[in-house]
Amino acid sequence: MSSGRLDRFASLLRRWANQLASFLPWRGRKDDILPSTAELLRPFAAPYSDAFLGVERSATGRVWRERLDAEGRRQALAISQGHDVPDLVARVLAGRGVTSADLPAFFDPNLRSLLPDPGRLTDMEKAAQRIARAIQTGEKVAIFGDYDVDGASSAAILARFFRSQGLEVTIYIPDRLFEGYGPNSQAMLGLAAAGISLVIAVDCGTTAFEALQTAKDAGLEVIVIDHHQVGHELPPAYAVVNPNRADDISGLDHLAAAGLVFIAVVAVNRVLRLVGWYQTRREPDLLALLDLVALATVCDVVSLSGVNRAFVAKGLAVLRRGGNPGLAALATFARLGGPAQPYHLGFLLGPRINAGGRIGDAALGARLLSTDDPLECERIAETLDRLNRERQEIERTMLEEATAAADAAVGAGPGPAVLLATGETWHPGIVGIVAARLRERFQRPAFAIAFGPNGAGLGSGRSIPGVDLGTAVRAAVHAGILEKGGGHAMAAGLTLARDRLPDLAAFFEATLGPTVREATNVRSIEIDGALTARGATLDLVELLDRAGPYGAGHPEPVFAIPAHTVAHAEAVGQGHVRVSLGSGDGPRIKAMAFRAADLPLGRTLLEARGSQLHVVATLGVDEWNGRREPALRVLDVARPDRA
């Protein structure tokens, strides 16, 4: 046998061994979770390929790749053997950079050891001293926040901390339609006229040069605690706490604004303790604020690494105790089943809080999260739930129009690097969601822009990994194409005149085109291991949960379910596809492909009734009427005969 054939055969044997290991139970488990020999061998019937299960082009046009490389497989083996961890779970851990030495601390993320010294952040000590002085002297303080979940949570964290010190503060959330994002001059003058002496801008303020100059001229001192990208200059504020500053070397630019605000509260609390403030007062329980930090961290889609992972893990524990009446009321209206998970924060609670800022009263979210009045919480939660339903109806209409326009723009060719969908009657508060849906469907950066009668457009964009949208938007502002704009690598907002739309399209094509093409040239999905319906148990779900929480930077485990029969498939709800998968005469497992009915993924599932598919999915729990069952969320499929 030739050397090349030997290498190929050895590689195939290693692949079989790795996938076989993912099925094996760990020591002490019952034998009934083992798949049959036929089930084990079935996935390997396809011709040899470096692609997982031989899938080089799936229903969504992706190649399936094993997440672990050779070093990752060695780490997984070390974790499994050294800590008595199931092989499949060990593969998940190794695939997220966890080593055998890291494991004990990883399974119990300790905030005490992971929380950074606040002094690492430029201007934090200055800001903490000023806020502590305001508390000691009983100044009138206002919190100026953004209208999204991160802004509302940040404002509520500060408001609750001030209340623990005996001070009530003013929370000001600008109206999205009439005031736009961030501090504005009129609002600053209004706060000054109301006797406010200190304004703390959270999740905004970094680019508010004019408004903060107005505030300074009016005698207001402003502290900015923000995480948005910073230009060459800083606004005229008393202090600017932002890890994206050029002179900040803290390395904390992965934090949401609420995480930074929590660290600021820790810093202020330390100052108060040092000056003897708590000699006659009870020191507040700062850990009780972590449910709000977790909510914002998940909803702002920041990397769940380092202290962010501890924020979410500990914050979920606080949330499950129901200490925040606003979150408890909202969870009831959102019909949150079972213990709170990151999914519930991002897809049930977060959208309802955002609904106020999108189409209702922008301050509703911050009021809900900062009040302790149960009746007020119930009233606000009910309003937000209603607004969220209205938002969904508006979104559906806008998305149909945007999708039709994007289909026409893409056509049969590659289409534009960045999609620019526009509407004359669109609601500006919904454009971010529409952009996210377009990005998801067309797998490229997308903007949705709502133009008003005066020709001014408000837009929001969402990007794909590897394409920095925030930097491109700021460059377009610098080039004079946009009136305003900024954001993160993955999300950005902008304001432009209608007649500059062609200029913006050309600018994005020139600056982002090569990057987008490189990022989308070979689309793939990374798979942690193979799993069968029989092996997908509640015990496995619980073990995988220990490796979480999952989110940006710490992705949810993705498994291949090889050659399972689609026993049932139907379109349900708002374009979802519900299926039942089984292997041989073994157990079946429920699965759902969300918003997929009119996409290749959904159509393939519906057409495959009674036949076999390779399925890629995440594993979770379906809770209904007190019953808990394993369930899958389908991400991709491929026909075994076409792999």
Domain holding 293: CATH number? 3.90.1640.30
Residue 393, in any domain of the structure: no
Contact 510, 524 (CB under 8 A): no
Domain check: are 139 and 242 in the same one?
yes
264 and 306 assigned to the same domain = yes
| DSSP 8-state assignment for residue 249 | -
Same domain, 448 and 580: no
> Does residue 212 fall inside a structural domain?
yes
pLDDT for 10 equals 44
- The token duo for 175 is 């109206």
**Cis-peptide into 549, omega within 30 deg:** yes
In a domain, residue 82? The reply is no
Where would I find the H helices in 172-286?
Answer: 185-193, 209-217, 257-274
Residue 199: band (very low, low, confident or very high) from pLDDT cuts 50, 70, 90: very high
Residue 260 lies in a domain: yes
Give the Cα separation of 330 and 375 in Å (integer).
12
116-134 pLDDT, tens per residue?
999 999 999 999 999 999 9
Q: Cβ distance 241 to 127 under 8 Å?
A: yes
Tell me the CATH number at 547. Answer: 2.40.50.140
185 in the same domain as 334: yes
End-to-end Cα, the chain, rounded Å? 27
* The predicted structure's pLDDT at residue 243: 97
> To 10 degrees, what angle do helices 290-299 and 350-359 make?
70
Mean pLDDT of the chain: 90
pLDDT at 556 over 60: yes
Choice among 44-48, 87-91, 325-329, 538-542 with the minimum mean pLDDT? 44-48
Cα of 224 vs its chain's centroid, Å: 23
Residues 178 and 321 in one domain: yes
Cβ neighbour number for residue 361 with a 10 Å cutoff: 16
258 residue type, one letter: A
Based on the domain organization, do 176 and 249 belong to the same domain? yes
- Give the CA angle between residues 153, 154, 159 to the nearest 5°: 95
State pTM to two decimals.
0.84
Q: How many Cα neighbours within 13 Å face the side chain of 199?
A: 35
pLDDT over threshold 50, residue 165? yes
Exposure of 448 by Cβ count < 10 A (0-12 exposed, 13-18 middle, 19+ buried)? buried
Considering the domain architecture, whether residues 377 and 424 belong to the same structural domain is answered as: no
Q: Can you give the pLDDT at residue 504?
A: 97
Q: What is the pLDDT of residue 643?
A: 56
pLDDT of residue 49: 58
Residue 589: what pLDDT?
Answer: 96
pLDDT at 22: 44
Domain that holds residue 567: 26-68+528-642
pLDDT digits (tens, 9 = 90+) for 9-47: 444 444 544 444 444 433 333 333 334 333 443 444 444
Query: What is the b/e burial string over 185-213, where b = at least 16 CB atoms within 10 angstroms of the residue's CB?
Result: bebbbebbeeebebbbbbbbbbbbbebbb
pLDDT in the model for residue 419: 97
Angle of CA points 537, 539, 542, to nearest 5°: 115
- Give residue-wise pLDDT tens across range 457-487: 999 999 998 899 999 999 999 999 999 898 8
Q: Which of 79, 82, 86 is nearest to 544 (CA)?
A: 86
Let me know whether 345 and 420 are in one domain.
no
* 32: CB partners within 8 A, 6+ apart: 534
Q: Nearest 5°: CA angle at 233, between 228 and 234?
A: 60
State the CATH number of the domain containing residue 419: 3.10.310.30
Same domain as 267, residue 416:
no
The continuous run of DSSP H or E covering 353 comes out as: helix 350-359
Same domain for 549 and 519 = no
Q: Residues 195, 200, 206, 208: what is their CA dihedral angle, to the nearest 10 degrees?
A: -20
Q: Does 378 lie in the same domain as 274?
A: yes
Strand, coil or helix: 447: strand
Is 401 a member of any domain?
Answer: no
Residue 493 or 29, more confident:
493
Judged by average pLDDT, the poorest of 156-160, 349-353, 358-362 is 358-362
CA atoms within 13 A on the CB side of 640: 18
How far is it, in rounded angstroms, from Cα 425 to Cα 404?
A: 16
Is position 395 within any domain?
Answer: no
How high is the pLDDT of residue 38? 36
- Positive or negative: CA dihedral 243, 311, 633, 641: positive
Length of the chain: 643
Q: Does residue 255 sit in helix, strand or coil?
A: coil
Domain count, the chain: 3
In a domain? residue 96: no
Amino acid 119 reads G
Residues 248 and 242: beta-carbon distance below 8 Å: yes
Q: Which of 504, 523, 542 is the last residue of a domain?
A: 523
Say how far apart CA 285 and CA 269 lie, in whole Å: 10
Per the structure block, which two tokens stand in for 261?
Answer: 């605000």
- Which of 489, 523, 557 terminates a domain? The answer is 523
Give the pLDDT mean for 339-366.
93
List helix spans (H) across 24-169. Answer: 37-41, 70-83, 87-94, 103-107, 111-114, 124-137, 149-164
Measured over the CA atoms of residue 546, residue 550, residue 553 and residue 558, the dihedral's sign is: positive
Sign of CA dihedral 350, 353, 356, 362: negative
- Choose the final residue of a domain: 499, 523, 547: 523
Identity (one letter) of the amino acid at 637? V
In 462-530, which ranges are continuous DSSP H helix?
469-478, 501-521
> Would 443 be classed as within a structural domain?
yes
Q: Which two tokens stand for residue 616?
A: 């890629």
Task: Identify which of 554, 551, 552, 556 has the alpha carbon closest to the alpha carbon of residue 541.
Answer: 556
Q: What is the pLDDT of residues 277-312, one digit of tens each?
A: 999 999 999 999 999 999 999 999 899 989 999 999
Query: What's the rounded Cα separation, in Å, for the pair 635 and 596?
Result: 9
Strand partners, 526: 65
Question: Which residues fall within 8 angstroms of residue 267, CB to CB, at 6 or more apart?
Answer: 118, 119, 124, 125, 127, 128
Residues 330, 460 within the same domain: no
How many whole angstroms separate alpha carbon 222 and alpha carbon 228? Answer: 17
Q: Which range scores top for mean pLDDT: 41-55, 267-281, 508-522, 576-590?
A: 267-281
pLDDT (tens digit, 9 = 90+) per residue, 605-641?
999 999 999 999 999 998 877 788 999 999 999 999 7
